[in-house]
Structure 1
Amino acid sequence: MRTIKLGTSALEVPVVAVGCMRINSLTKTDAEKFVQAALEEGANFFDHADIYGGGECESIFAEAIHMNDDVRENVILQSKCGIRKGMFDFSKEHILEAVDGSLRRLKTDYLDVLLLHRPDALVEPEEVAEAFDILEQAGKVRYFGVSNQKPMQIELLKRYVRQPLVANQLQLSITNATMISNGINVNMENDAAIDRDGSVLDYCRLHDITVQPWSPFQYGFFEGVFLNNDKFKELNQKIDEIAARYGVSNTTIAIAWLLRHPAKMQPIIGTMNIGRLRDSCKASDIHLTREEWYEIYRAAGNILP
C-alpha cells in the first residue's frame, strides 16, 4: 500500500488506517482473520482508544494479532485518551494512567502515536506538556497528536508542549465535508460558508499535521452510512458510475475521494468486514480526476458558489 509521512514525524504510514473501535463485535477467530487480512493489505497502522469497549478492544486486538516483540516491530499502534464517563480529562494524572492502561492491554512497551481524544474545556496545557515529556522520556510514546481540535486549541497546546503534534483526527466524509465546503464558499451568504472549525484543514496543511478522517462512510453524527442509502440516490448513482469506470467498488471510490485531496490525509476505516476493508485499501491505487472529485462533491448536495 502507498505510504505517507505522518506529520513531521519519521513514521511512514499506510494511507489507510484500521480503526479498532468495533473489534469487540467479532469472535476471537474472526478478529484474528480480520487483523491478518489488514496486514496482508499492508494496512499495519491500527487506531485505538482507551474507551473503545471500555478498554476491551485493545485487549482483543492484542490477542488477535498474537502480540510479541516480532509482531510489534511490524505494526504501528496509535491510541487516544482523554474521554471519561461524563467528562473530558487532559490532566497529567489521567494521561499517564490512561497510557499505562493502553500499554498493558495492547501488550506492548510503547505507543507509536498518542492522540488527545476530545478537547477538554478545563485543559491546563502545562500539565499536558509535563505528561508528554514523561511519556517520551520513558519511551512509552514516540509521537503525539490531537483529535477533534481546531487551530486555536492546537496553538494553545503548542505554546507549552515541546513535541510536534503530528496528527489531528477529524470527522470527514463526502457527506460531512464542512471543513472543505467553508473554504469553497468564502464570503457567501449560505450555510456552506459557515466556518465551524477555524479553517482547520488549511491550518493542518500549513503546519504539516496529518488529518485522519474518522467515519469516512457516515453521514450526520453516526446516523448511518451514505453508501447504498436511498437518502443519497444522486450521490450513489455518481459513485457507482465512477466505480464502474475504474472496476472497483463504491467503498473504494468513497475512500479514493478523501485520498484525492492534496492534504495527504489518512482515513481511519472502522469496518470489521474483511471485504470492505480490502475494498478500502484498494483506494490507495486510485487517483480520481479533478472532474470526478467535484462531480462526487456536488452529487452529495454540496454547493459551488
Structure 2
Amino acid sequence: MKTFTLPGTDIEAPNVVLGLMRIQDKTDDEVRTLVSAARDAGISFLDHADIYGSGVHGCERRFAEALKLTSSEREQLVIQSKAGIVKDGPYFDFSYEHIMESVHGSLEALGTDYLDILLLHRPDALVEPAEVARAFDALSTAGKVRAFGVSNHTPRQIDLLRKHVAQPIVANQLQLSITHSPIIAQGVAANMQGLDQSIVRDDGIVDYCRLHDITIQAWSPFQAGFFDGPFLGSDRYPELNAVVDRLADKYDVPAEAIAVAWITRHPARMQVVLGTTTPERVASAAQGSNIPLTRPEWYELFRAAGHTIP
C-alpha cells in the first residue's frame, strides 16, 4: 500500500481509504471482518460521517460497538468524519453550534477523544465563515480535531473559508471514477466549442487543490455516474470493460484494482475512498494502490469511458 504524509498534517496516510457509510445493519463479526480485511491490505484510514446510518451517528456507533478499540488500537488508525448535512429537511448547517454538536456526537459515538480529520460535508449556502473558524479554533485548541477539510467544495467556496479559517484545509472529498470524471475531463477538452465535456463546472478544482496542497479524496470510484450503478462489468461500457479486463490480466490483479489505479496514477496524489462492505472487494481494490499505469494505458481507459481527447 502506497502511503504519503498528508500535506498540512503529520498524518501518514495510505492512498486507499475505507468508507463506512453502509455498516449500520452489519453484525459485529461482519464489521470486524471488513475492517480487518482493510488493515491486512494496508488501509489504516477510515471515513465516517455523522449522517451515515439509519439515525444520526448510526454507523459511527455501530463501528465503535463492533471494534471496541483500545487506546493503542485507536492510535494506529486515522479516523475521519464529516459534519454539515441535516437529514431532516434536508438542509445544510455550518453554524458554530451545529459543527460543535456534530463533532461531540461523533466523538461520543466513536468512543474516542479526537478525530484525526473533520470535513465539512457539502457546501452550506448560508455559511458564515467566521462561525466555521470559531468552531475549528475551539476544536483544534481542545485537541478534539487534528486537521480540517471539506467535501464537494469548489475553489471559491474553499477560498471563502480560507480567508477566515486559521487551520489549513487539507482535503476535499469529490466524486471521481473513470466514467464520472468531469473534474479531470474538462481540462483535457478545454476551449472546444459545442462539447459538453469542455464546460467548466468546478472552476478547475483539481488544479486548485494541487496548487494549495489539498488532497483530493475520490468517492464512488466504481460508480458509472451519480449513484446509477457501477461501470465494472456493466453492458453499458463494453469498450471500457474490455480495456479494464486486458489491463487486469497484464498486471495480474482484479478489475477493481485497475479502477483504483486510474485514480491513484494521477500526479495529484489522490486518495480513493472505497464504499464496499465486501471484504474481498476491499482486498481487490487495494491492489490498485501501487499499479504503475503508463500514460498510454491511463489515456486508453479515459477514451474507452467515452471522454473526448482532441
Q: Please classify the TM superposition score into its range, dividing by the shorter chain length.
A: over 0.9
Segments of 5+ residues of structure 1 without an aligned counterpart are none
Q: Which one-letter code corresponds to 1:11 in the other structure? A: I
| Mapping for residues 32-181 of structure 1, pairs under 5 Å | 32-53=32-53, 54=55, 55-85=57-87, 86-181=90-185
Q: Could you say what secondary structure the match of 2:163 adopts?
A: helix
Q: Give the counterpart letter for 1:22 in structure 2.
A: R
Q: CA RMSD in A?
A: 0.8
Match of 1:212, SS? Answer: strand
% identical equivalent positions: 55
- Indicate the SS of the match to 1:272: coil
User: Which letter maps to 1:65?
Assistant: L
CA distance in 2, matches of 1:35, 1:66: 12
Partner-residue secondary structure (3-state), 1:239: helix
Match of 1:288 among 279, 284, 293: 293
Tell me the alpha carbon deviations over residues 221-265 of structure 1, each in whole angstroms, 9 at most, x when there is no partner: 111100000011111011001110111110000000000000000
Paired residue secondary structure (2:271)? coil
3-state SS of 2:46 partner: strand
CA–CA distance in structure 2, aligned partners of residues 101 and 171 of structure 1: 26
**Deviation per CA, 1:272-300, whole angstroms, max 9, x where unpaired?**
11111001111122110001000000000
Contact 1:35–1:64, Cα closer than 8 Å, also in 2 = no
Instruction: Please give the alpha-carbon distance, in whole angstroms, between the structure 1 residues aligned to 2:187 and 2:146.
Output: 33
- What corresponds to 2:227 in structure 1? 222
| Count of aligned pairs | 305
Residue type at the aligned position of 2:100: L
Deviation at 1:39, TM superposition (A): 1.2
Work out whether residues 7 and 165 of structure 1, in 8 Å CA contact, stay in contact via their aligned partners in 2.
no
Q: How does 1:20-35 map to 2 (within 5 A)?
A: 20-35=20-35
SS in 2 for 1:23: coil
Distance in 1 of aligned mates of 2:238 and 2:267: 27
Cα distance in 1 between the residues matched to 2:152 and 2:7: 16
Match of 1:201 in 2: 206
**CA shift at 1:33, angstroms?**
0.9
Q: Deviations over 1:107-147 (max 9, x none)?
A: 00000000000000000000000000000011100000000
Deviation for aligned residue 1:38: 1.1
Gaps of 5+ in 2: none
Give TM-score, length-normalised by structure 1.
0.99
Going by fraction, where is helix more abundant, 1 or 2? 1
Pairing of 1:182-261 with structure 2 (within 5 A): 182-189=186-193, 190-261=195-266
**Alignment-mate amino acid for residue 147 of structure 2:** Y
Q: Structure 1: how far apart are the matches of 2:7 and 2:65?
A: 30
- Matched residues in 1 for 2:263 and 2:238: separation? 20
1:65 Cα deviation after fit: 2.2
